[in-house]
C-alpha cells in the first residue's frame, strides 16, 4: 500500500491508474479503523480495480470540541489493518492539505437539515458535505463507499453528489456489528468496561422496539425505548424515531407499503452512539 500525505501526489497516481483503464474505489474514514471500515474496503475491492482509503478527522464536522479532541487516533494500527486488507493507497492528509483555505461554503439538504442528527449536531452535515466534496473532487473515484450505520449521512452524501453533479456512484454498505450486536464504531473504544456492557442492550432494545412498533404502534415503541433507556443511569437518549426510509420523515403510523427505519442516538457515559434498524423493508 502506498501512503500519500498530499492530494497532489494522490491525483498524479490516480490519473495514471485511470489512463490504464482502472476504476477507482474510495473509502473515506476518520481512522481508528475496525471491521466496519474494512467491510467497505472489501466491497470496494469487489467492485473496483484500485482502492483508495482516506483517514482524516475532519474538524469542520464536529459541533463539540471535546468530541474532536477525544476522537481516537491509532494510525499505526490503521495502516497495518489496511495493508492486511489489501488497500492500494492511503491518503493521510493534515488539515492544511484538505483545507488550504477556510471552507465557508454552506450546503442545504432540505428535511435532512432539520431532523435527527441535524437537530442534535448543528453544522455537522455542513462539515461532512465540505470534506466529502473536497475528497471526491480531489480523488475523482468511480465509486465511493459509505456505511448505512450513518444512515442520514449516506442520504446527505447522495444529495450532495446530485447537487454538485459529481460523476461518482455512492455505494451504501450494511452495518457491521460486534458479536453481541452492538454496531461497530470508532467511539466504542472510549467506553469503560461497564459502559460497554450497558451499550450491548442497544441492539436488543432496537429489535424489541421493532416488534412493538409492528404489533402495537410507533408511540408504544417509542415509549418502550424511553422507559428502558431511563432505567440505565449511564444512558441518556437523544432521539428514537421511526421514519420513512426514503425521506426520513418521521412516521406516527407504520405502513406496510412504505419502507421504514428506526434510528436512535444516545449517550452512554460521555460517548455518543448511533444505530438504526429497518422496520418495514419492502415497498
Ligand atoms: P467514520 O470513520 O466513523 O467516519 O466512518 C467511515 C465510514 O465507515 C462511514 O461511511 C461509516 O458509515 C462507515 N462505518 C462506520 N462504522 C460502520 C459499521 N459498524 N458498519 C459499516 N460501516 C461503518
* Digit-coded pLDDT (tens) for 197-228: 999 999 999 999 999 999 999 999 999 999 99
37, 120, 124, 257: the active-site residue = 37
Measured by CA distance, the residue closest to atom 17 of ligand 1 is 36
The rounded distance, in Å, linking the Cα atoms of 12 and 190 is: 38
Going from the C-alpha of 118 to that of each of 93, 112, 114, 136, 239, the distances in angstroms are 27, 7, 5, 22, 12
Q: State the chain's mean pLDDT as an integer.
A: 97
pLDDT digits (tens, 9 = 90+) for 52-62: 999 999 999 99
CA 140/CA 238 separation, integer angstroms = 36
CA distances (Å), origin 254, targets 38, 112, 245, 251 = 34, 20, 11, 6
Mean pLDDT of 33-41: 98
Residue 3 has pLDDT above 70, yes or no: yes
Instruction: Among 149, 158, 199, name the best residue to mutate to test ligand 1's pocket (greatest count of ligand atoms within 8 A of Cβ).
Output: 149
Strands across the sheet with 89-91, in order?
2-4, 89-91, 50-55, 24-29, 143-147, 169-173
Which atom of ligand 1 lies closest to the CA of 185? 16
pLDDT of residue 283: 60
Confidence of residue 282 (pLDDT cuts 50, 70, 90): confident
| Per-residue pLDDT tens over the stretch 17-31 | 999 999 999 999 999
Q: Is the C-beta atom of 36 inside 6 A of ligand 1?
A: yes
**pLDDT computed for residue 148 by the predictor:** 98
The confidence score (pLDDT) of residue 160 equals: 98
Give the C-alpha separation, 157 to 132, whole Å.
8
pLDDT in tens, 103-154: 999 999 999 999 999 999 999 999 999 999 999 999 999 999 999 999 999 9
Give the 3-state secondary structure of residue 127: helix
**147 CA to centre of ligand 1 in angstroms:** 5
CB-ligand 1 contact for 183 (6 Å cutoff): yes
Task: Tell me whether residue 37 is one of the annotated catalytic residues.
Answer: yes
The number of the ligand 1 atom at minimal distance from the alpha carbon of 153 is 12
**Does this model's pTM top 0.75?**
yes
Would the CB of 141 count as within 6 Å of ligand 1? Answer: no
Amino acid at each position: 500500500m502506498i501512503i500519500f500525505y498530499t492530494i497532489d501526489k494522490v491525483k498524479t497516481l490516480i490519473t495514471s491508474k485511470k489512463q490504464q483503464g482502472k476504476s477507482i474505489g474510495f473509502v473515506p474514514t476518520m481512522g481508528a479503523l475496525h471491521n466496519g471500515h474494512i467491510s467497505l474496503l472489501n466491497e470496494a475491492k469487489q467492485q473496483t480495480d484500485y482502492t483508495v482509503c482516506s483517514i482524516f478527522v475532519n474538524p469542520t464536522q464536529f459541533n463539540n470540541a471535546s468530541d474532536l479532541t477525544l476522537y481516537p487516533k491509532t494510525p499505526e494500527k490503521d495502516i497495518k489493518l489496511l495493508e492486511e486488507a489489501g488497500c492500494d493507497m492511503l491518503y493521510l492528509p493534515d488539515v492544511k492539505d484538505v483545507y488550504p483555505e477556510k471552507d465557508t461554503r454552506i450546503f442545504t439538504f432540505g428535511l435532512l437539515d432539520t431532523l435527527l442528527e441535524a437537530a442534535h449536531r448543528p453544522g455537522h452535515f455542513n462539515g461532512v458535505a465540505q470534506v466529502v466534496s473536497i475528497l471526491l473532487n480531489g480523488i475523482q473515484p468511480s465509486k465511493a463507499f459509505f456505511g448505512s450505520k450513518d444512515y442520514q449521512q449516506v442520504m446527505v452524501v447522495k444529495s450532495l453528489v446530485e447537487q454538485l453533479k459529481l460523476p461518482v456512484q455512492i455505494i451504501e454498505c450494511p452495518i457491521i456489528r460486534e458479536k453481541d450486536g452492538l454496531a461497530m464504531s470508532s467511539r466504542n473504544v472510549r467506553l469503560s468496561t461497564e459502559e460497554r456492557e450497558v451499550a450491548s442492550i442497544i441492539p436488543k432494545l432496537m429489535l424489541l422496539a421493532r416488534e412493538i412498533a409492528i404489533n402495537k404502534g410507533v408511540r408504544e415503541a417509542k415509549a418502550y425505548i424511553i422507559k428502558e433507556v431511563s432505567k440505565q443511569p449511564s444512558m441518556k437518549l437523544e432521539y428514537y424515531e421511526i421514519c420513512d426510509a426514503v425521506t426520513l420523515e418521521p412516521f406516527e403510523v407504520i405502513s406496510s407499503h412504505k419502507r421504514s427505519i428506526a434510528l436512535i442516538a444516545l449517550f452512554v457515559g460521555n460517548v455518543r452512539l448511533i444505530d438504526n434498524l429497518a422496520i418495514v423493508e419492502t415497498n
